[in-house]
A and B are shown apart, each in its own frame.
Chain A
């Protein structure tokens, strides 16, 4: 009796394994054939392999490719900044705060309001950098406040509950914030004022033609990341955060105020999302109450791809996800003759997530954590 039961169990595991291996192989075949076809088409669109893969392919020029890459990295930098918040909260509390995308939306909305007010006052074009500083600071304040209140009202009362409970709560908080935005600001899309023309100009930098806005996004993300790294690795607060992430009871024994450290973690994650919200506004100039959803989910994917709980991993995950979704449709799918590839960005982003989880379940930079270490 027991043996047949065991045998059944093993054969089922094998079946799942075969299925997963099949998916892995499919991914690898698509990626390698796509890449080969891309290379073939780059050499000469008329060669037989390129013709076989996609007779209509034209190949990409180097400037086109670089343009895609820069766009992808700029967007990826935003994913990375949002992903830091997912990763930090997961680090200290062990659950995914799905309302974090809405914290980002709050930041973008705050920037929309302040930047339009500044534009009405005629300051936006004249003193752009000062205005930018102002809208970043107000956005950080507002999104930090949102994250902190969220922790206090929605998550702290659930501290002792099973991890699924705060997870579900976070989805509720997410809907609440979206609807609050509709109530306060109305349901339509709202736009940021026109950027000064000097910012939108392209500049050359190490062989890349980069638009000023994208440069601004990349620079701001780099500065924020450096600031965060310093905070976490080099300050007393950062050490307390890392200690709380590992063992709350012993952290308390060291004299660390665990609750306050958790609040600080939410605050820092919220601040990063606030910065990302402004960058989103600068880059796309349009926000709506659902703005937080897709970037939020992608940032969550980025955090998982990088290895959740690992801050450098979150940033790297964001950049690679952004770069992948911008370049992969034209580099991998177009050469294979897939139709309408530019519509497939989102599919590519989540395919990257699935692929990384299949190949490296702990993420690119994640450490393997056993269940007792996690608890």
Chain B
């Protein structure tokens, strides 16, 4: 049974039809990606999954339960979270407070302490900066805090909005290694990317979204080999 699923989603912003019959399913422990250019509906898809946008028709299903009209916090409590595009840390709050806010809905003190230790193991640098205002960190460190903050909610599925956006090329590589590491711990990961090459190199499966429609739905290898995709996303040389 899929962990998180969109069934026949149609979303409108006013009269504009943004998502058109989108179906996708994320299974437990999978690493999948959604590719698409600007204005393809990637952000709306994420917002629909998280309950920040309510679809006109169709259902969002979390762990077998229809959550289409449930709040974001209801879904976060049940294991969905996101690392937003451009990290979006609370810059005026300390690193520690940012991490604590990640666990805002949790009440299991021991579990929170364990997860905090896990974040420190993964990012020793974060532990050194704990009492610093997060706005004073470097881009790479902020990325660590953003991922750490998401992990603090003890997610079963982690949505990542453009994880390679705004990072130096060397950091993009590290970042994708990190995603794999989190994936190996059993967290399902849903990457939304323009950087198709990088995303497909680590994903199991993927979808391609074009003007609100899923136009391709296949394994990562098949997508990488797909001539249409190569032409539109990967360019001639295979890199964006």
A222 at the interface (CB under 8 A from B): no
A24 at the interface (CB under 8 A from B): no
Determine whether the beta carbon of A254 is less than 8 Å from that of B84: no
Residue of B76, B92, B93 near A253 (CB, 8 A) is B76
Determine whether the beta carbon of B76 is less than 8 Å from that of A255: yes
How many residues on B have C-beta within 8 angstroms of the other chain's C-beta atoms? Answer: 23
A211 at the interface (CB under 8 A from B): no
User: Using a CB–CB distance below 8 Å, which chain B residues touch chain A?
Assistant: 50, 52, 71-73, 76-77, 81-82, 84, 88, 90-93, 97, 100-102, 104-105, 149, 153
Interface residues of A in 251-272 (CB under 8 A from B): 251-257
Question: Nearest chain-B residue to A369 (Cβ)?
Answer: B92
A125 at the interface (CB under 8 A from B): no
Chain B residues with CB under 8 A of A249: 52, 84, 88
Complex formed: what's the CA distance from A250 to B47 in Å? 12
Residue of A239, A247, A250, A257 near B100 (CB, 8 A) is A239
Asked whether A240 and B104 contact (CB < 8 A) given A250-B84, A253-B84, A257-B73, the answer is yes
A242 at the interface (CB under 8 A from B): yes
Shortest distance from the beta carbon of B69 to any chain A beta carbon, whole Å: 16
Q: Is the interface of A mostly helix, strand, loop or mixed?
A: helix
Determine whether the beta carbon of A247 is less than 8 Å from that of B90: yes
Determine whether the beta carbon of B97 is less than 8 Å from that of A247: no
Shortest distance from the beta carbon of B97 to any chain A beta carbon, whole Å: 6
Chain A residues with CB under 8 A of B84: 249-250, 253
Shortest distance from the beta carbon of B231 to any chain A beta carbon, whole Å: 35
User: Using a CB–CB distance below 8 Å, which chain A residues touch chain B?
Assistant: 236, 239-240, 242-243, 246-247, 249-257, 367, 373
Asked whether A252 and B93 contact (CB < 8 A) given A243-B101, A247-B88, A257-B73, the answer is no
Chain B residues with CB under 8 A of A247: 88, 90
Determine whether the beta carbon of A250 is less than 8 Å from that of B105: no
Shortest distance from the beta carbon of A297 to any chain B beta carbon, whole Å: 28
Contacts A242-B93, A249-B84, A257-B71 known; 12 new A-B pairs at CB < 8 A: A239-B104, A242-B90, A242-B92, A242-B97, A243-B101, A246-B91, A246-B92, A252-B72, A252-B73, A253-B81, A255-B73, A256-B73
Shortest distance from the beta carbon of A272 to any chain B beta carbon, whole Å: 21
Determine whether the beta carbon of A239 is less than 8 Å from that of B77: no
Complex formed: what's the CA distance from A373 to B88 in Å? 11
Question: Nearest chain-A residue to B91 (Cβ)?
Answer: A246
Determine whether the beta carbon of B76 is less than 8 Å from that of A254: yes
Determine whether the beta carbon of B90 is less than 8 Å from that of A253: no
Chain A residues with CB under 8 A of B90: 242-243, 246-247, 250
| Smallest CB-CB A-B distances: 5 pairs | A255-B73, A255-B105, A255-B76, A254-B104, A254-B101
